[in-house]
Amino acid sequence: MTSRVEQALSAAQNDRHNAFTRILVDEARRDAATSKTGRLAGVPFAVKDLFDIAGLPTTAGARMRLDATPAKADATVITRLKAEGAVLIGTTNMDEYAYGFATVNAHFGTTLNPHAPDRLAGGSSGGSAAAVAAGVVPLALGSDTNGSIRVPASLCGVWGMRPAMDDMPLEGVFPFVHALDTVGPFTRSLADLKLAYEVMSCRVLATTSATPRIARLTGFFARNADPDALAAVATIDAEPLDLPMAEAARSAAFLITGAQGGALHLDTLKTRAMDYDPAVRDRLIAGAMLPSATYLRAQDMAARWRAQVTEAFQTCDILIAPSTPVTAPRIDAGTIEINGQTVSARANLGILAQPLSLAGIPVISAPVRKSGLPFGLQFATAPGREALLFDYLARLEAEGVLGASVLEAA
Cβ distance 64 to 85 under 8 Å?
Answer: no
Give Cα separations from 153 to 121, 179, 312 (angstroms): 8, 22, 26
**Residues 6 or more apart in contact with residue 142 via CB below 8 angstroms:** 48, 124, 125, 128, 129, 148, 149, 152, 160, 183, 184, 185, 186
Q: Is 370 a catalytic residue?
A: no
Q: Are 129 and 186 in contact (CB under 8 A)?
A: yes
365 is catalytic: no
Q: Which residues contact 55 (CB under 8 A, 6 or more apart)?
A: 70, 71
Alpha-carbon torsion (210, 212, 129, 354), positive or negative: negative
Q: Which residues does 194 contact at the CB level (< 8 Å), separation at least 6?
A: 205, 390
For residue 388, the number of C-alpha atoms closer than 13 Å in the C-beta half-sphere is 17
- The per-type count for the chain, helices as H runs and strands as E runs, is 14, 17
CA atoms of 137 and 326, how far apart (whole Å): 26
Cα–Cα distance between 142 and 94 in angstroms, integer?
A: 9
User: How far is it, in rounded angstroms, from Cα 262 to Cα 294?
Assistant: 14
**Cα 127 off chain centre by:** 10
Cβ(157)–Cβ(135) below 8 Å? no
Residue 48 known to be catalytic: yes
- Of 35, 124, 201, 365, which residue is the catalytic one? 124
* SS3 state at 321: strand
Residue 233 contacts by C-beta under 8 Å, 6 or more apart in sequence? 216, 320, 321, 322, 377
CA proximity to 324, closest of 312, 338, 309: 338
In the set 35, 125, 128, 148, the catalytic residue is: 148
Pick from 393, 377, 349, 101: nearest CA to 230:
377
- The residues carrying an active-site annotation are 48, 124, 148
